[in-house]
Amino acid sequence: MPDGSASERGGVTGLSTDVDGPVTHHVVWQVADGGANTFDRVLRNIDNVLADLGAETTSIEVVTHGAGLPLVLQATPGSGEHVTSLMEHGVAFSACENTMARQQVDAGQLLPGVGTVTSGIAAIVRRQEQGWSYLHG
């Protein structure tokens, strides 16, 4: 018998989760800060969102720029396997071409499967205008 717990109701206390058909969630995630701790936190939070909302019903695009660019570089130790695993589960990662030019990074230095956008900020604005939820990591 259902116990009415928050986890049973989709992790939200006091809200009904009765829906007609699957719910689709769209999340654009900005990564503009760097460092192993930041990257680890962002990747764990993405795992948590996918686990709670459901990978089948959740679209996530991670946009990296500024100090966040190393998250998607082959030369950055520690996060590449996790990023690759998330991409295999449908999470899209993109790098800002403006940042790449400023940091003298070419597309060949990105992890395989990582896309690029002309402007990271403009890509995020477009997603928000399309109704995507915005998260910053």
Q: What is the mean pLDDT of each run of 10 residues along the chain (137 residues)?
A: 40 39 84 96 97 94 98 94 96 98 97 98 97 94
Global pTM reads 0.84
Secondary structure of residue 62 in the 3-state scheme? strand
pLDDT score for 18: 39
Q: Where do the structural domains in the chain lie, given as residue ranges?
A: 25-136
CATH of 25-136, one of 3.30.300.30, 3.90.850.10, 3.30.465.10, 3.40.1260.10: 3.40.1260.10
Instruction: Convert the pLDDT of each residue in 52-90 to its tens digit.
Output: 999 999 999 999 999 999 999 999 998 999 999 999 999
- pLDDT reported for residue 5: 38
pLDDT of 22 reads 67
Q: How many CB atoms lie within 10 A of CB 27?
A: 19
